Structure formats: structure tokens, C-alpha cells
Amino acid sequence: MTLSGITPSDLTQKKKAQDILLRILKPLIPFYSESGARLRIGDTRTHYELSSQEMEAFARPLWGLVPLVAGLSANEKKWIKEAIAASGKTTLIIEDHLSITAELIRIYQDGITAGTDPGSPDYWGLCHDFDQKFCEMPAIGFAMLYAPEFFFDNLSDPAKKNLSDWLNECNRHDLCACNWQFFQIITNLALKVRGLPYSKENMENGLRMIDDYYAEGGWYNDGNGGDKDYYNPFVMLSFGLIYRDFMKDEDPERSRRFLERALEFGKDYAHFFDDNGSCFPYGRSMTYRFAQSAFWSTCLMTGVYPIPESRILKLISTNLSRWLSCPIFDNAGILTIGYGYGNLQMSESYNAPGSPYWALQAFFYLTLPYDDKLWEITDRISPDPGSTETIHLQNEQAEVSECIFLSHVPMLLQRSVQNGHCDQVTALVPGKTSHEGHSHNIEKYSKFAYSSKFGFSIARSNASLEENAPDSTLAFVIDGFVYTKNRTEEGYMIDEDHIEMHWSPVRGIDVITILRPTEQGHIREHTVNVSEALYKDVEIKAYDCGFAIPEQPAFAKTDSESHASDSIPDSVSDFTCTVHSLAGDGRDEVLIPEPNTNLIYPKTRIPMSVYRIKPGINRLKTEFLYI
């Protein structure tokens, strides 16, 4: 299911944006436990406990509810307080956006009290090392920081003590040495700001570790030696700005570093978005979807502008409207696990039914008051639906197609621009040099190219090409099994003009691949060295594969409903990727992979060039046209 009828312009008008957020939150109301402390919205499981799943589902909607509440007017807040007081423990009658908001606040006030009370049947319990609940504590801390009059001041003294004791569980156990350190930092920050016991030592140690993870150019590794992926905008840069928002006077030097990094990162990150509102999926935790806008929304909330304010608002509004026009909700209005549609195939072991609500950080900008100058930009963001008027967002020269070298990520970004409109961003990457850890790491980090238009596909097995769905990679079929490009050897090369990498799909086959971006796509040159001793009489075929193309129009409109916003192309002709063999005597073919393997489109086809591989040196060259 989609949220139909939403335009980018709606998301630049505060009242309309509030209503859109409540359309996402309201369907959750029937599924809270009687105490409000747990939320069960699905039956799939994770590597962590079911009780933690239910606590996570409770906590993550706060990322949207808190900015909504913080940005209300004084009169609206007064009305809500009076309505909650008059209702007692009774469910409020939901008639309009204020009564929906009041009912949600009532649920969370009761839920925080019950969840942290050791005597409650819904007590969230004591924690253990590496507990998932540490990831959810900062949502409650965020509520204490930005909306204390609803989520802290109203608590009784015993309830405040219970809350303090439970949040301090994060100071009694070990946390993962990665973005998790910021979860402990923000939790401790909230305790400190509200005058409750906290661990200054753990907070300082976590901040030192965050500094250790910093690389350059505004980018962090997710842990020492970790990835540079969307955890930068999801957590690392955003939470740094939240810390600065409350600590810039007490900790000016570190706050200055967080600000400088955000300003530098934002200049790179703006290139990740095409003008339709899409980013290219890449890396893990893609089920957080429109958390792609979390960094930009945090910038507006904290008054930080790496790029002009009007462009930040445009990036948020187009990204959100794009996402909400996709079928990412089930028939009850609950966000699904998946990306462009509900899809468990691409999930990680830590994706619970409530996990996708991390995306609500994209609504942080609703903290801004009604009289903020941001809301005056509205009429310059988007014309009325159906208008042919040109949209003017800022005083910048019209974009042209270009290839941008991000040396510190590293990747080459191709921005495809037609008539001043960027309709696709493609990232050419060298891939990861190790693949320990999370599900489908190879597909999520080590294909040759990732596209905002085409997405990428996840393998079901290596028993056939159809089940493997090897888009944007070089696949070998040996004795009926599929072996693809996987770990890249250390020492790869990347510059403005090319990427060169060494890898091996299977013992006895070594490959050197060179990617060269072109004005219309890219060219791959492969030198494949096959052991004669191992493969003398073995038939080997290599499949150099392009992007997965939707077999039908992308969620095309029907007479009864619109599954896509006006910005989403309805014609398959808008999704062109052609593949041609330039050397190596390849044969151009099309693969029909298993359905539901691609992150964005349920049914696809993959163009490819097929090569016969012999023992010794084989030289292949393939051209991919998609710009």
C-alpha cells in the first residue's frame, strides 16, 4: 500500500507535513499493549529477543512523534495537555490531527512509565552486553531532550527514578564498537541535561571512539575499519549535530568538529540524490528507507546548512514524497521490512517488524516553529500539481551530467542530467575487502555499480542464474553453480577516470577488472586467468551483467488508485540499460531472474553479455549504456 496523493509541495508546508506523519503513526495505535510499553506489529523474528523487538517497535515511532510535538504551538500543547488530563487512562476519541497526537502522547507517557517500572508486567527488563535495547534508548533520550514537557516533566518522581535506572543500563554493559557508541552518548546526554545520574566516563570514552572512527572529508567508518555507508547520514553525522545542539557551550571544541564534519559531508551527500527524490541503495539497513533524509532534517532542526536551506528542504520533500508513493506499507498501514516494497529477502538478522520506523528521523524538521522562515520557502519548492511551471529552488547554474570522484568514500558518482534534470545517480565502487558480518554483504557492497533508478538485486542461491540474479556483476557458471564477484583484494586503485580491482570468484580463477565511466554509462575490462590444472576439461561461462530493468512500468497507475507519484516514470522506456560485448567474442542475452530479488522492482530482467572462458588468460570487454 502507498500513501497516495502526496506531492513534494505538501512536505514543505508544516500542517500538511504533520498530517502526513500522522497518517504513518495512526495505524500503529491499535497494536500497543494495554500499558502502552510494547508494540507488536508482526511475527517475523530477529537474532535478539522477542521482548526487545516489541520494545524497539515502541521506541522508534518516537523519532517522528517527538519532532511533531516539539514543533506544536503553545495553544496546541495546552489543548493536548488538557485533553490527556480529562481522559485519564481512557483512550481519546480521535477526530483530528490534534486528538491523534494527544492519544499517541498519552500512550507514550504511559508506556515509558510502565516499560521502566520493574513491577510492571510490561517492564523492559535488565539488559545484557550488546543488547538491542541500547539502540532504542536514544529515541527516549531524544524525547527527553526535545519534548521534555510531554515525555519527562510530567513523570512522577518514582517514574523519573525508574527511567533513570533503566536508561543507565547502557552504562553497565558493553556496546558494539561502531555507530552504537552514539546511542550511549545521546542517552547519557539526555540524562545529563535532565539532571539525572549518568556516566561521564562512558560518554567521554564513546566520544573518543567516535573521533577514532572519523576518516576524512566529513566521512566516518562505521567502527575501526568499518564501512562508509548510509550509517553516516543515519547516525554518525546526525547524532553529532544533536550532541552539538546541547553541548556547544560546554564542549565547544568537539562541537566545532561535529559541525565542520557535517558541513563537509553535506556537500558530498547532496550528490547522492537525483531530482526525482531517489538515492542509490547501497550497503546494509536499507529497510530504513527515508532515513536517507535524516541528516538533512537534522541540519534544519539544528540550524546547520551545508548547502542552501531551500535545497535541503527540496531534498527532504522530494525524497519523502517519492518514498511514500511506493508500496512500502501493508494493508493495515504498517511499514514493511523491505525497500521499494515489502521484501524479507533483502533483510538483515536485526530487522524486526518495528525496525523500519527509524525512517521517521526524516521528520526532524517539524521541530521548527510555525513562524520559522523555512515555511516561507513553500511556494518556491513546487508548483501546483499538473503545472508546467519551471521549479526554481536556488540561484545555481543548471546541472550537467558529470562524474564525481569521492576519494574518501571511495566511489565514482555519475549524475545523469537531461535538460537540467538529474534522473539517475550511479555509484561505481571497488567493493569491500572483507565480508564478515551481516546478511548479503556481497550484494550490498561489492557489485560494480549501484543506481538510484535500478537499485540492485539480492541472491537467493547460487544454484542457478535465475536464483542468483547477478545484476551489475561478473558471474561465472561452473558445473551448474554460480560464482560472482565478491571480496576485492587489498590494493585496489581508484581515481577520476577508472577503478581497478583484483578478485577471485572461486579457487583457480583470478580476475582483474577495470571500470571506466563514460558519458553514457561505463565500460568493464576483465582479465580472467583460469588455472589449467583445475579447469582443463571444465566448461565455464562468464556473464557480464547490467542493471536489473523492471519488466513492467514501475508501480504504474491504475484507474482506481495511483501507485506512483507524478515524478515516477510510468513507461518501461524510461528504464534503459543495454549491454554490448566489445571484446572476447561475447553474446548479448537477457536473463529473467526470480521475482522479488530486486530491492525496488518485484519483477525484472537483466541484460548481459555471455562469454566462453578457457584455461589461461581471457580478455573480456563489455559496454553498459544507461545514461
DSSP string, 101-168: HHHHHHHHHHHHHHHT-TTSTT------TT-THHHHHHHHHHHHHH-HHHHTTTS-HHHHHHHHHHHG
Asked whether residue 384 is assigned to any structural domain, the reply reads no
**Domain co-membership, 421 together with 555:** yes
Alpha helices in 214-290 (DSSP H): 231, 237-247, 252-269
Domain with 262 in it:
8-377
Share of the chain above pLDDT 70, in %: 92
Average pLDDT estimate for 433-452? 91
Least confident of 200-214, 542-556, 593-607: 542-556
Closest by CA to 355, choosing from 25, 616, 56, is: 56
Residue 272: inside a domain, yes or no? yes
**Torsion of Cα atoms, 299 then 301 then 304 then 308, to 10°:** 70
CATH of the domain at 509: 2.70.98
The reply to whether 102 and 235 lie within a common domain is: yes
Answer yes or no: is 392 within a domain: no
Task: Please give the single-letter amino acid code of residue 263.
Answer: L
> Is residue 531 within 8 Å of 615, Cβ to Cβ?
yes
Distances (CA, A) of 501 to 14, 78, 138, 310, 478: 48, 62, 40, 40, 22
Check residue 103 and give its pLDDT: 95
All cell numbers assigned to 395: 540561484
- H helix or E strand, kind and range, residue 326: none
| pLDDT of 580 higher than 50 | yes
491-500, 570-579, 618-627: least confidently modelled range: 570-579
- CATH number of the domain at 164, please: 1.50.10.20
**C-alpha cell, 613:** 572462458
367 and 473 share a domain? no
Does residue 452 sit within a domain? yes
Residues 367 and 458 occupy one common structural domain: no
Cell numbers of 222, please? 562505521
pLDDT at 49: 95
What is the pLDDT of the chain when averaged over all its residues? Answer: 92
What gap in Å lies between CA 613 and CA 584, rounded to an integer? Answer: 9
Q: Which three cell numbers, joined as nine digits, stand for 208? A: 573518543
Residue 488 in grid coordinates: 576485492
- How far is 607 from 548, CA to CA, in rounded Å? 7
Query: Going edge to edge, which strands form the sheet with 521-530?
Result: 493-494, 499-506, 509-517, 521-530, 616-625, 578-583
pLDDT of residue 573: 57
Quote the radius of gyration of the chain (alpha carbons, Å).
Answer: 25
Q: Provide the pLDDT for residue 94.
A: 67
- Contact between 413 and 627 (Cβ < 8 Å): no
Quick one: 200 and 279 in the same domain? yes
Does residue 244 share a domain with residue 105?
yes
Check residue 553 and give its pLDDT. Answer: 53
- Give the tens place of pLDDT for each residue, 362-410: 999 999 999 999 999 855 554 444 433 333 333 344 566 799 999 999 9
What pLDDT is recorded for position 391? 38
Residue 509 placed within a domain:
yes
Rounded to an integer, the average pLDDT of 162-180 is 97
Query: What is the residue whose three cell numbers read 576518516?
Result: 215
* Same domain, residue pair 492 and 540: yes
Residues near 397 by beta carbon (within 8 Å), at least 6 away in sequence = none
Q: Are residues 92 and 25 in the same domain?
A: yes
Is residue 2 situated within a structural domain?
Answer: no
In a domain? residue 387: no
Q: Does the residue 572 lie in any domain?
A: yes
315-351 pLDDT, tens digit each: 999 999 999 999 999 999 999 999 999 999 999 999 9
Provide the domain count of the chain: 2
Among residues 300, 284, 192, the alpha carbon closest in space to that of 247 is found at 192
Which triple of cell numbers denotes residue 441?
554483504
The Cα 149–Cα 356 span in angstroms is 27
Instruction: For residues 219 and 118, state if they share a domain.
Output: yes
pLDDT band at 189 (very low <50, low <70, confident <90, very high): very high
- Residue 558 in grid coordinates: 491504475
Confidence of residue 569 (pLDDT cuts 50, 70, 90): very low
Q: Which of 309, 343, 377 is the last residue of a domain?
A: 377
367 and 446 fall within a common domain: no
pLDDT of residue 556: 47
459 in Cβ contact with 440 (< 8 Å): yes
- What pLDDT score does 92 carry? 66
- Check residue 50 and give its pLDDT: 94
Contact (Cβ atoms closer than 8 angstroms) between residue 181 and residue 235: no
Residue 416 and residue 627 in contact, taking contact as beta carbons nearer than 8 Å: yes
Residues 373 and 408 in one domain: no
Q: Domain check: are 102 and 227 in the same one?
A: yes
